[in-house]
Structure 1
Amino acid sequence: MSFARPSRIALATLVCLMAVSTSAKDKEGSKDHPLIGRYAGSEITAYKVAEFNEQRFVNAPLDIRADGETFTEANSFKVEGRITDIRYDAPKDRSALEIMRNYEESLKSKGFEAVYACANESCFKGKTSVYRFNFVAGDGPINYRYDTGVRYLLAKATRPSGDVYAAIVIGESKGNPLVHVIAADLKPMETGQIAFIDASAMAQSMAANGRVALYGILFDFDKAEIRAESRPTLDEIAKFLKASPALSVVVTGHTDSKGAFDYNVDLSKRRAAAVVAELTSRYGIAAARLTPFGAGMASPIAPNEDEAGRARNRRVELVAR
């Protein structure tokens, strides 16, 4: 699938319209993706970046009747890398078609190739309301912004430094067009980031500080199920606790500052409870010695301004009780 070839004059005009820019009304701390830019006059209303995460991109019509509003292997594929998610309010006097044409030509000029595109009814198998495309961009709470139409484009740029996928989702309603840009800069995950602490080091830290911070207990994003890679650290925690039978601890979950405060407190508590459950059921540590507690984002040990700081704040601590 490829883009149509624009004239030189049209291309120059379109690239100007799609330049990377800023607006005084942009969400604080937000910025355009450097390869994608924005439609002139648009304002950023939501923005988030994950240095490494997974993202599913739609590449086939959605079968809402059979699957509901969900990603499946039949309608999408998964990639991993740096994920940028930006939502814009576009100028009210511009149509979704005009905005999408600008994105198409701008992306083509930067070496992108179209992977999949659809508009309105062609985005679905069978008859359904077009607003139901909202979940593709995570716009469920504002699905009314897709009331009268939707346009979608997925494009890919092949680059020596790593491929880039760009999904453009445009919703039409009685108000301003909504533009949602989701980009995935494919890159391998940084490894060697987990500082392994054995039972001896845990004992030393507990004796010196009354607590020990653990980074080897891993969870998927927004989940409380312990990942299999956490087994070596759990083995060492059990060894440490069995060597100190008189010690009782508070198992404290910590998050970074992304997300709502109350939600993060609950998530961190559920993660702490999962660790306690594993220590009691698999290793036979007495439940009376373990108290799960969720601190959420309330006790950072580094600034949450960048991913390096946020990674230090996402941890489990054992605190002497």
Structure 2
Amino acid sequence: MLKRVLMCVMTIAVGAGAANARDVPGGKDHPLIGRYDGAALTLYKTSDYAEQNILTKPITSADRRATGKRLNVANSVPAAGRSFRIRYDGPAGRSPLEVARNFQSGLKAKGFDILFECKGGECSDLSGSELYFALQDESPLGKGDIHSNPGSQVFTAAKLTRAEGDVYATIYVGDFNKAPEVLVDVVETAPMDEGKIVFVDAAKMQKDIDATGRVALYGILFDFDQATIRPDSQPTLNEIAKYLGANPSVKLIVAGHSDWKGGFDYNIDLSKRRAEAVVKALTGMGVATARLRPFGAGPAAPVASNVGESGRAKNRRVELVKAE
């Protein structure tokens, strides 16, 4: 009976919660997560559609060397959809572990499964600050404005399975000036609003390349954060091969373009690997290797603002440029 009462109290502590006078204007608790009683909401960011990695294993030196990123395919699961980044301060005198346990209890009560938990140095075989830097530097919603205190950190990743789309949540709790800091990230998975960019066939490629020397393609799609071409890219690859077959003397630069998420050097490398993957796919379809040259432009030639997802989607593309 006592255990049931304690569980009830813990769940209430991270329920809807009352707004604090120090809350940032426009900020609000996520209804599936709530806040710890007495905390102030000090950061609130949202995106209608964002892609990010949910940490489910410790950050290791081997994986980081292999991928160049703290959050990578070896230790994370990808999630995409409506995203939230919320930061809380306080209340003073509460330990990060106590606050984290309250959140975990609240998540379980709402049907979440805990995917991963780590404390202090358990979160990485490198510096204890690796988790801090991963959350600060590798989120599509920008920095979380938390402080590094690896000795006190507690991290939780959880998943709610539901018919209308799964929900992923991560909660980082650390200590700063004898008060807990809480960074909550939530992804409500949902398909992107697609069909906004017109399919480009061989005739359109011919027209654009003849007129401007280049054509932008949005029908070549890749796995999230990878250079692996998705199967639904085949129709566009077929059209490229068709165009090249009708123009046997043409040579092309295959240029990969990206948005700004992840940093300049990272995106240059990713876009180059994606361009190389396109060249490999086309040569596998019978196109002579000498007719194609891969190039990674990264975020250097945007065609839209990178502020919103709609603009970033336009910047993520493959361009065919006629090589004179």
Gap runs ≥5 in structure 1: 25-29
Q: 1:139 to 1:21 in 2, by over 3 A?
A: same
Q: 1:129 to 1:276 in 2, by over 3 A?
A: closer
Residue 84 of structure 1: aligned partner: 83
Residue 296 of structure 2: aligned partner: 294
Given candidates 255, 259, 266, the residue that maps to 2:269 is 266
The structural deviation recorded for 1:196 is 2.2
Given candidates 264, 273, 288, the residue that maps to 1:285 is 288
Q: Distance between the aligned counterparts of 1:77 and 1:163, measured in 2? A: 16
Query: Does structure 1 conserve the Cα–Cα contact (< 8 Å) formed by 2:157 and 2:170?
Result: yes
Residue 100 of structure 1: aligned partner: 100
Q: Distance between the aligned counterparts of 1:178 and 1:131, measured in 2? A: 20
The structural deviation recorded for 1:172 is 4.9
Q: 1:114 to 1:204 in 2, by over 3 A?
A: closer
Query: Does structure 2 conserve the Cα–Cα contact (< 8 Å) formed by 1:217 and 1:226?
Result: yes
Alignment partner of 1:197 is 2:205: no
Residue 314 of structure 1: aligned partner: 316
**Which amino acid counterpart does residue 99 of structure 2 have in structure 1?**
I
The structural deviation recorded for 1:232 is 1.8
**Which amino acid counterpart does residue 196 of structure 1 have in structure 2?**
F
Q: 1:133 to 1:20 in 2, by over 3 A?
A: farther
Residue 228 of structure 1: aligned partner: 231
Which runs of structure 2 are paired with 1:42-191 in the superposition (5 Å)?
Answer: 43-44=42-43, 51=49, 53=51, 55-56=53-54, 58=56, 80-82=79-81, 84=83, 86=85, 88=87, 90-91=89-90, 93=92, 94-100=94-100, 103=103, 112-116=110-114, 120=119, 138-139=134-135, 145=148, 147-153=150-156, 162-172=165-175, 177-191=180-194
Q: Distance between the aligned counterparts of 1:234 and 1:310, measured in 2? A: 22
Given candidates 294, 297, 305, the residue that maps to 2:307 is 305
3-state SS of paired residue (2:287) = coil
Gap runs ≥5 in structure 2: 65-69, 138-146
Q: Distance between the aligned counterparts of 1:103 and 1:183, measured in 2? A: 13
3-state SS of paired residue (1:6) = helix
1:1-31 superposed Cα distances (whole Å, 9 cap, x missing partner)? x992239xx958974467697559xxxxx98
Query: Does structure 1 conserve the Cα–Cα contact (< 8 Å) formed by 2:165 and 2:189?
Result: yes
Q: Distance between the aligned counterparts of 2:118 and 2:295, measured in 1? A: 48
Query: Does structure 2 conserve the Cα–Cα contact (< 8 Å) formed by 1:131 and 1:149?
Result: no
* Higher mean displacement: 91-100 or 268-277: 91-100
**Which amino acid counterpart does residue 314 of structure 2 have in structure 1?**
R
Query: Does structure 1 conserve the Cα–Cα contact (< 8 Å) formed by 2:53 and 2:72?
Result: no
Question: What percent identity do the matched residue pairs reach?
Answer: 39
3-state SS of paired residue (2:113) = strand
Instruction: Count matched residues.
Output: 302
Query: Does structure 2 conserve the Cα–Cα contact (< 8 Å) formed by 1:210 and 1:320?
Result: yes
Residue 27 of structure 1: aligned partner: none
Q: Distance between the aligned counterparts of 1:200 and 1:238, measured in 2? A: 12
Q: Distance between the aligned counterparts of 2:301 and 2:117, measured in 1? A: 46
CA RMSD of aligned residues (A): 4.9
Query: Does structure 1 conserve the Cα–Cα contact (< 8 Å) formed by 2:13 and 2:102?
Result: no
The structural deviation recorded for 1:251 is 1.5
Q: Distance between the aligned counterparts of 1:272 and 1:303, measured in 2? A: 22
Q: Distance between the aligned counterparts of 2:231 and 2:132, measured in 1? A: 29
**Which amino acid counterpart does residue 96 of structure 2 have in structure 1?**
A
The structural deviation recorded for 1:54 is 6.6
Q: 1:261 to 1:87 in 2, by over 3 A?
A: farther
Q: Distance between the aligned counterparts of 2:287 and 2:236, measured in 1? A: 16
Alignment partner of 1:249 is 2:252: yes
Q: 1:12 to 1:222 in 2, by over 3 A?
A: closer
Query: Does structure 2 conserve the Cα–Cα contact (< 8 Å) formed by 1:79 and 1:184?
Result: no
Query: Does structure 1 conserve the Cα–Cα contact (< 8 Å) formed by 2:117 and 2:155?
Result: yes
Which runs of structure 2 are paired with 1:30-45 in the superposition (5 Å)?
Answer: 33=30, 35-36=32-33, 40-41=39-40, 43-44=42-43
**Which amino acid counterpart does residue 298 of structure 2 have in structure 1?**
G
Alignment partner of 1:4 is 2:3: no
Q: 1:160 to 1:262 in 2, by over 3 A?
A: closer
Q: How high is the TM-score relative to the length of structure 2?
A: 0.67
Q: How high is the TM-score relative to the length of structure 1?
A: 0.68
3-state SS of paired residue (1:304) = coil
Query: Does structure 1 conserve the Cα–Cα contact (< 8 Å) formed by 2:14 and 2:103?
Result: no
3-state SS of paired residue (1:309) = helix
